[in-house]
Amino acid sequence: MADVTARFLEYVKIDTKSDYDSTANPSTPVQFDLARKLVVELKALGLGDAAVDEKCYVMATLPANIENKVPVIGFVAHLDTSPDISGAGVKPQFVKNYDGGDIVLNKAENIVLSPRDFPELKFYEGQTLITTDGTTLLGADDKAGIAEIMTALERLHKHPEIKHGTIKIGFTPDEEIGRGADHFDVKKFGAEYAYTLDGGRLGELEFENFNAAKATIAVKGRNVHPGYAKNKMINSMIIAMEFNSMLPVRETPFNTEKYEGFFHMTNMSGDVENAKLVYIVRDHDMNKFLARKELMRKIGAFLNEKHGEGTVSVELEDQYYNMREKIEPVMHVVELAERAMRDAGVEPRKTPIRGGTDGARFSYMGLPTPNIFTGGHNYHGRFEYIPVDSMEKAVEVILGIISLYAAK
């Protein structure tokens, strides 16, 4: 299945970085470059209705080749890459027969991918890895998912003897900035169940994720000449630091794992008169999630009481919720994926997502959508890599799921 690698390498050439600050849909027009390419490829593989809409959502249908009625299932991946680092000019590097040691990504800049920092590398001794050149991300999140879906479709196209029901394909824009499901038409998509190909390490199977909110803390100060500022100046930046100091010091991404939630400051800016802190707030447990938001409100109220009403404003915006509530009533979608993995020689690793996927929101829109591994590691940065074997296994799992549904 070298074709999955070839497709992946072709897709990562296309810059599809999304943009937090854009209000357009999609947030960046470059996402259309990959979307239009995929429409052409989908039609060539027999999905004649493939199309991309004005907001850059790609949808397509592979008609069933069996007469018995089986559930319509979908496979979804996202077009965009993270805005955290450049996705332009990606230069993938191959590490064949990986020896378990350091990988020099960029000698000139002394950028090294090391198992001392990323011990998961040791799992892939003897395999072929695809890495970055240390100057950009790789784009496995989620162009690996796209390549795996497209390769599975190619396999079905070349082997019509493989029986399958109706298959729906969806590629979404702006997932990395939390907008991937904003304009996704679940009714038009027409699947009963779906799977996102947007996970990480080989074997990951995820049906629970964080409850998520964005918090924006705005602080108003008062500037006075520092030589005459006694009892007059109000330094908004110092009050902003005071706000942060009142959050639990060990409840940050660096100190948490598994089901532990956190507060994560993603941006800070300001001067004496105005300061702003932006956080993401995460927890798998809804009650704890609500308590985190309430704590931020209480800190804001305390600081207003201390420094004057209107000094601090706390704006909270929910982003997505834990899909487990919607998946549990239809757990067969997870169990079937587990069986497909084991049939492919992959041990399922059911882990909570310390983040979110389009599938989390789809699940609340009436389309239960657990998440499957793509094989990638270290997403959103220059140390991203993916083992070729893991991509090939993902293709096998997709085909296994399709065959198991066809046999129902």
Round to whole Å and give the CA distance between 54 and 19. Answer: 17
Contact status, residue 353 vs residue 179, Cβ threshold 8 Å: no
Name 361's Cβ contacts closer than 8 Å, sequence gap at least 6.
180, 181, 184, 320
Contact status, residue 155 vs residue 162, Cβ threshold 8 Å: yes
Q: Positive or negative CA dihedral for 346, 352, 357, 359? A: positive
- Residues facing 77 on adjacent strands: 171
Is residue 317 annotated as a catalytic residue, yes or no? no
Q: Which of 142, 175, 176, 251 is catalytic?
A: 175
Round to whole Å and give the CA distance between 106 and 113. Answer: 9
Is residue 175 annotated as a catalytic residue, yes or no? yes
Round to whole Å and give the CA distance between 126 and 31. Answer: 35
DSSP tag of 310: T
> How does DSSP assign 226-242, residue by residue?
GGG-TTT-B-HHHHHHH
Residue the block writes with tokens 């991300």:
137
Round to whole Å and give the CA distance between 208 and 360. Answer: 8
Encode 288-304: b = buried (16+ Cβ within 10 Å), e = exposed.
Answer: ebeebbebbeebbeebb
Amino acid, res. 219? V
- Residues facing 268 on adjacent strands: 277
Q: Which of 15, 80, 174, 192 is catalytic?
A: 80
- Cα 10–12–15 angle (5° rounding)? 120
Strand order in the sheet with 262-270: 262-270, 274-283, 211-220, 312-320
Structure tokens at 261: 């939630």
Show which residues are catalytic: 80, 175
